[in-house]
Structure 1
Amino acid sequence: MIDIENYCHPKLKIERWHVKTASAVAVLGKNGAGKQFVDQLLLGKLTNPQYSTLRLPNCEQVVLVSFETLQAVFENELKIDETDITDEIDFGTPAKEFLPADKLQSPLIDIFHLSHRLETGFRQLSTGESRKLLILKAILSGASCLILDNPFDDLDTSSRAQLSTVLKQLSEQNITLIMLLSNRQDIPDWINTFALVDHNTLHDLSGLSEEQARSTIDTLFAFDALDKTRLEKMIANRSGQHTTQIVNINNASVSYAEIQALATTSLHIQTFQHTLITGPNGSGKSTLLQLVTGDCPQCFSNDVTIMGFKRGSGETIWDIKKHLGIVSPDIHRSYRVSCNALTVVLSGFMDSIGLYKDISQAQKQQALDWLDLIGLRSLANSNFKQLSFGEQRLLLIARALVKFPSLLVLDEPTQGLDEINRRLVLDVITSIAKKQLTTILMVSHREDERLPIFTQHIQLSAD
């Protein structure tokens, strides 16, 4: 049970919030609203609050699955990586070792489509698969209160439906579910209890009818159209500079230790032939993009030509990356240096993690213009690692766009964004595509991200 009245902490305020045991609540809020402090409250991490009533679940039985917990696992996997001291590549802890040993025959593993991945190293899992693994771990470990931060992000349509069904069953089995959501479209149809977080204050909507609660939520997510005048000024006098053939990949396949990461696939992209790649979790979408960006070492053993450079012909990775702007879960996980928001955007000019070269005043102004456009100018001097996941993702999108690259490679770019910022990003992408300033290659699971600009659609399969 959660029973809170007149709660006051520098990071979170709650006048009243009551949640029954074994119920499910959707807590909605925009990026930067303070949703992360709700999970910190339930995990016992907010110290010395003032309150008149405070009853919380035993924090030892509360489990959080979020972008940040995934990042923590990933960083730990890097620490224990033994590649440098063995003769074999260490792909990380096998998936089965994250689960209780006596639950490896659970039917939930098959329902989550992870049975065939139990021997796979954690770093070989797709982002969606790793998220499903941590949710499965929490369920099988007997958590009494499960906090899920945007649980449907990174999941394909089938996996989203399956997870929703499983979560509904859990809410009927004495488990309390708290879903922290940034998009109204992600609210399961079986949830009818809501709360809002806005400006670090939680508002309990349980006293309202479902219609009144949804109306209040709709007001919070009212969308202001993209400031196209500002964007027009930023792109004035710019033109796309491309070779005719942007991407030429012929019959490529990728395997690691007999585990297939990408079945035989070809990809050909001409100038301004904006391309969307879809497919279920684990079908190799990110691996295909890594062949393009050079982040998959097997690009040298496949027939891969990017921006006119055939891989393995004496070119350097920087010959290619100077033409690319990249947003991906890998870059987000890898951006672990301590720097401010402005530095993150500026690093896009150098294709670096952090900034190690001098920049011009014109480049700085261009980066500030992007911060203005995405609404984060006030956070220019804020530490990147202290920002919310959604704010970090917006900065990485600006980093990819700041130099107006010849090829914009977007792997689930709107991951972690609320629907307002997601619409903003999609509008910016659409505007730049229509101006023929860059060629766009994008991976997405969301049906509403199949934009009209995409003239080529590549559908990968899991088999």
Structure 2
Amino acid sequence: MDLPLISINKATVRFLNNTLFTGLSFAVSKGKSWALVGKSGSGKSALLHTIAGRFNVTGGEIVYHFFDDFIKHTGNADGHLTYHKLIALVEPKHHFKNLSNTSDFYYQQRYNSSDSEDALTVEQYLHSITPVFQQNNYWNFEKTTGLLKLDELLSKQIIKLSNGETKRLMLAAALLKSPVLLLLDSPLTGLDVQTRKDFNFIIDEIIKSGITVIMATSPYEIPDAITDVAILQDGAIIKSLTKDEFKPALFMQDDTDVIDNEELKALLNPETAKTTYEHIVKMNNVFIKYGDKVILNQINWQIIPGERWALLGPNGSGKSTLLSLINADNPQAYANDIVLFDKKRGTGESIWDIKSKIGFVSPELHQYFPTDNSCLQVIESGYYDTLGLFRPSQKVKADTALRWMKALEIDKYARVLLKNIPASAQRLCLLARALIKNPDLLIFDEPCQGLDEHQQHHFKTLVDTICRLSNVTLIYVSHYQHEIPESVTKVLRLDKGLIIKNE
């Protein structure tokens, strides 16, 4: 019989005033690695945080058998070692600080040349990681950076990393701690096609090294080395089975979708007079460079009102930098020939003039909102293009925000703090924030990250309906072909800062 590493026995788990699990039982044996699957809000992330010791267990018990075994073989000379130090949790969001370790990054920091230097490099960050024991660690610096293809990024400030590159860095940092138990929360989101293909090999190498892996993931993205699958629903494990027994097709969610066209048309308010433009975006030979690193090279791109574009390319290809030039987040726009909404950058328009015409969502945007803002306040802040609501709420605007929440099926979170809802619901709140002012241009940078199958389908249908009912212009970024709405008809593909496809 397999010896257990960890066992949860009839536990009641609470966080703040919420009971997350009641009567929870789950056991992980040596030699087994698990995938956790389920709809958004089913409890996957909560289970990982429970195992990591982040939540209060008020009934039942969690026994960390691996810790007792570890102490038996290695000792605990200083008495300060706890099971927490033998567990590494890789979350969807990072917790990076500036060089003085006194404050978080701000959203536009990576694009400002002086402030972007106020961050560790990848190499410095990884060298700051301390394993429990310094000697004979399998996951040393060279092996870890090699496996996760970080060698070419070592001199790069962590604030300048793309979303996918950041994911790889966070996994590398976890491995350098030499954990017994590695917990991964949606590790594949944000990774490009090639890195997702490599991920199967990466997980296989990690498990072969003796680390036990428990990961929350899509039922369609379970690595080969995973042995068992737990299906969660409404805060309970409803079924456990081997990976060979698990069939993703049996897990398919109901794609029946009802979009209230009349309500959506009312929200879009087509009778409101709109300014007409010749060009939404016009770029001529755009060149962006940081230090010796060329990020964008000779970019020529025109976007006409009503066009719907897919912006594609691998992690680090320059997509986020390109979008930052359009969204008025990057001061290097002034040194280039860029026209936005028929006005050349640097001819008197303010960044707020530009932002007022754009609804924007990115994978990391939710990290920069005040922790005391409710979801309704975050969405209402979209009227003012501020990262949070810093003025009294207006009833008419709040009512509209709630209507958009209903359209995205997240109205139950209206009065809940953004930080306390599932990651998928956070992303949907920011999508509502982007839509609320009916902008001329929508920029959706990986908008389906972390959404379950039904949420993805519903959002795609909503976007296609909006495009059908209005003349909105769209730029849509995704690493998954199936996430791109049918209304998208044009493609710009980047690789290493160059356009390789424009049609």
Same-fold status (TM-score > 0.5): yes
1:383 aligns with 2:417: yes
Counterpart in the other structure of 1:255: 289
Instruction: Tell me by how many angstroms 1:400 deviates.
Output: 0.1
Distance across 1 between alignment mates of 2:380 and 2:275: 21
Instruction: Tell me by how many angstroms 1:450 deviates.
Output: 3.2
What are the within-5 Å matches in structure 2 for residues 386-405 of structure 1? 386-405=420-439
What are the within-5 Å matches in structure 2 for residues 143-182 of structure 1? 143-181=179-217
The one of 103, 106, 120 equivalent to 1:79 is 103
SS in structure 2 at match of 1:73: coil
SS in structure 2 at match of 1:79: coil
What are the within-5 Å matches in structure 2 for residues 8-47 of structure 1? 8-9=12-13, 10-47=19-56
Query: CA 1:172 to 1:318, structure 2 compared with 1: closer, same or farther past 3 Å?
Result: same
The one of 205, 226, 230 equivalent to 1:191 is 226
Q: Cα deviations across residues 214-247 of structure 1 (Å, max 9, x unaligned)?
A: 46633xx333414234434534645765412110
Distance across 2 between alignment mates of 1:262 and 1:298: 11
Q: Is the 8 A contact 2:231 2:238 kept in 1?
A: yes
Query: CA 1:208 to 1:290, structure 2 compared with 1: closer, same or farther past 3 Å?
Result: closer
Q: Is the 8 A contact 2:280 2:341 kept in 1?
A: yes
| TM-score, length-scaled by structure 2 | 0.83
Counterpart in the other structure of 1:3: 7
Counterpart in the other structure of 2:474: 440
Query: CA 1:50 to 1:216, structure 2 compared with 1: closer, same or farther past 3 Å?
Result: farther
Counterpart in the other structure of 2:322: 288
Higher helix share: 1
Counterpart in the other structure of 2:69: none
Percent identical residues: 26
Q: Cα deviations across residues 295-351 of structure 1 (Å, max 9, x unaligned)?
A: 011011111111112111111111111111010135322223521111111111111
What are the within-5 Å matches in structure 2 for residues 49-448 of structure 1? 49-51=58-60, 54-55=63-64, 57=66, 58-68=83-93, 70=94, 72-73=95-96, 79=103, 89-100=116-127, 106-181=142-217, 183-206=218-241, 210-211=245-246, 214=248, 217-218=251-252, 221-229=253-261, 230-235=263-268, 237-238=270-271, 241-357=275-391, 360-448=394-482
| TM-score, length-scaled by structure 1 | 0.90
SS in structure 2 at match of 1:106: helix
Counterpart in the other structure of 2:501: none
Query: CA 1:163 to 1:316, structure 2 compared with 1: closer, same or farther past 3 Å?
Result: same
Moved more, 54-63 or 448-457: 54-63
| Alignment root-mean-square deviation, CA | 2.8
SS in structure 2 at match of 1:405: coil
Instruction: Tell me by how many angstroms 1:126 deviates.
Output: 0.6
Distance across 2 between alignment mates of 1:344 and 1:326: 13
Query: CA 1:204 to 1:52, structure 2 compared with 1: closer, same or farther past 3 Å?
Result: farther
Q: Is the 8 A contact 1:15 1:203 kept in 2?
A: no
Moved more, 430-439 or 128-137: 430-439
Q: Cα deviations across residues 26-80 of structure 1 (Å, max 9, x unaligned)?
A: 1012222222221222112233432267445433211111123x1x225786727
Q: Which amino acid aligns with 1:253?
A: F
Distance across 2 between alignment mates of 1:147 and 1:20: 15
Query: CA 1:346 to 1:51, structure 2 compared with 1: closer, same or farther past 3 Å?
Result: same
Structure 1 residues without counterparts, runs of 5 or longer: none
Q: Which amino acid aligns with 1:73?
A: F
Instruction: Tell me by how many angstroms 1:461 deviates.
Output: 0.6
Q: Is the 8 A contact 1:309 1:320 kept in 2?
A: no
Structure 2 residues without counterparts, runs of 5 or longer: 14-18, 67-82, 129-136, 498-503
Q: Which has the higher contact order (CA 8 A, sep 6+)?
A: 1
Query: CA 1:244 to 1:78, structure 2 compared with 1: closer, same or farther past 3 Å?
Result: farther
Q: Which amino acid aligns with 1:63?
A: A
SS in structure 2 at match of 1:12: strand
> How many residues are treated as equivalent by the alignment?
455
Distance across 2 between alignment mates of 1:330 and 1:176: 28
Distance across 2 between alignment mates of 1:89 and 1:188: 36
Q: Is the 8 A contact 1:337 1:354 kept in 2?
A: no
Distance across 1 between alignment mates of 2:495 and 2:282: 20
Q: Is the 8 A contact 2:116 2:157 kept in 1?
A: no
Query: CA 1:379 to 1:260, structure 2 compared with 1: closer, same or farther past 3 Å?
Result: same
